[in-house]
Amino acid sequence: MAKMPFWRVALLPVSWLYGAILRLRHALYDTGLFKSTRPGIPTIAIGNLALGGTGKTPMMELVLSILDGLGPIATLSRGYGRSGGTFHEVFADDLAQRSGDEPVQVKRKFAEARVFVGVDRAASIEVIMQEVPDVKAVVLDDAVQHRALDAGLNIILTTWQRPWCDDALVPVGRLRDLPSRSSAAQIVVVTKCPDLPAPAEQERWRERLRLREGQDLYFAGIEYTEPMLDMAGDRPTRMPGDKGTDSYLLFTGIADAQPLVDHLKVGHKVEHIAFPDHHAFTRSDLDGLAARYATFAAGPKMLITTEKDIARLGSAAGTPLEGIPLATIGMKTVILNEPQRFAQLIRRHVATHTAHS
């Protein structure tokens, strides 16, 4: 067994104190001393126990795709990285500074969805029910820790590379909540899987994650779209990226870019410039990207980023990136085992819910 690094040993007391605070908080909700509200409409909360990088936004997009055609569907996010904390609806031409990068990304991909941001999830849902009286469901991003809301269906994600059973509470590890909180989930999804594990391995995962009887366990992989070239302008026209491109200068401000880097490296030279998650790009950042693009490779090359990052970056027009081929690559979550059953569980939760008045 590997010896724990000294810095982690030194931080253990802080991690223990944080764990004690979490246990007290959950106990206050579990005993009813703190109030938790179950909304009068179907709610689906997508979350994780770690700090980020498990694929919550792609999972929200998968759920929205599954619910397509059932009627008006709303989403609700905190809108991380936005200025201010007011409740409001998100529109496709919003800036990330106003609404957060992920809500803007979702709205641009799902025009029919009613996308909202709000800090108080329970209160925000009440307003959504007033503004969209015929709403069929609200899908919430990152709401598992928001105990004031008792969602009807909880989906908790963990990654193949770093499941919660192999992690520790911050600051020693990356967990922001107790592993025992996973018991609140009706569905657990192991994301970023290289492939579908064999049945025996799936059972070992159930044991490792200590899932209770009745919790559904799914495994999910990632599929990437072809890079789409941004043609400039505030509402850019997009076209398929040049498949003859030899080199990509990739820049990202996401929690875990390694799967994307590995994907792009197949058949291409890739240099990756990593920024912090939800990074707000500055003029200096763009100057640096333009300067590096000019020298990083010879031959056909392209600057490339993610849908989440382009929501924060906005148009390249009038910036140091103007005139540089800038492509956006999308990703989606794919359920590897029993995808039809997964979709059925989501649809059944919404379709069988008693309508609110």
CB 96 within 8 A of CB 82: yes
Q: What is the DSSP letter of 320?
A: T
Contacts of residue 222, defined as CB under 8 A and 6 or more positions apart, other chains included, come to: 55, 58, 191, 192, 259, 263, 331, 332, 333, 334
Q: In this predicted structure, what is the pLDDT of residue 317?
A: 82
What is the C-alpha separation between 64 and 75, in angstroms, rounded? 9
- Residues 103-144 have pLDDT tens digits of 999 999 999 999 999 999 999 999 999 999 999 999 999 888
Overall residue count recorded for the chain in this entry: 357
CB 217 within 8 A of CB 205: yes
Closest-CA residue to 13 (of 136, 119, 171): 171
What is the C-alpha separation between 157 and 53, in angstroms, rounded? 10
Q: In this predicted structure, what is the pLDDT of residue 314?
A: 82
∠173-331-237 over CA atoms, to 5°?
135
Second CATH level (architecture) for the domain 23-223+334-351: 3-Layer(aba) Sandwich (3.40)
Q: In this predicted structure, what is the pLDDT of residue 353?
A: 67
What is the C-alpha separation between 83 and 65, in angstroms, rounded? 29
**Class of residue 63 by CB neighbours under 10 A (exposed 0-12, middle 13-18, buried 19+):** buried
Q: In this predicted structure, what is the pLDDT of residue 243?
A: 61
Q: In this predicted structure, what is the pLDDT of residue 143?
A: 85
Sorted by where each begins, the domain ranges of the chain are: 23-223+334-351, 226-329
Closest-CA residue to 292 (of 324, 244, 327, 328): 324
Q: What is the pTM of this model?
A: 0.90
* Parts of the chain with a pLDDT under 70: 1-2, 230-244, 353-357
β-bridge mates for residue 189, sequence order: 157, 218
Second CATH level (architecture) for the domain 226-329: 3-Layer(aba) Sandwich (3.40)
CB 114 within 8 A of CB 132: yes
Q: What is the DSSP letter of 236?
A: -
Is the fold of 23-223+334-351 the same as that of 226-329?
Answer: yes
Q: What are the Cα distances from residue 131, in Å, to 124, 191, 268, 340?
A: 11, 34, 48, 32
Q: In this predicted structure, what is the pLDDT of residue 246?
A: 86
Number of Cβ within a 10 Å radius of residue 326: 28
Find the Cα–Cα–Cα–Cα dihedral 95, 333, 205, 159, rounded to 10°.
-30
Two tokens, residue 351: 């379709």
Q: Is 269 left (phi over 0), alpha (psi -120 to 50) or beta?
A: beta
Q: In this predicted structure, what is the pLDDT of residue 315?
A: 79
β-bridge mates for residue 241, sequence order: none
The distance from CA 241 to its chain's CA centroid, rounded to whole angstroms, is: 25
Two tokens, residue 150: 């008792």
CB 322 within 8 A of CB 232: yes
What is the C-alpha separation between 337 and 335, in angstroms, rounded? 6
Q: Over the range 87-108, which residues count as b (16 or more CB within 10 Å of their CB) and which as e?
A: ebbbeeebebebbbbbbbbbbb
CB 81 within 8 A of CB 123: no
Q: What is the DSSP letter of 37?
A: B
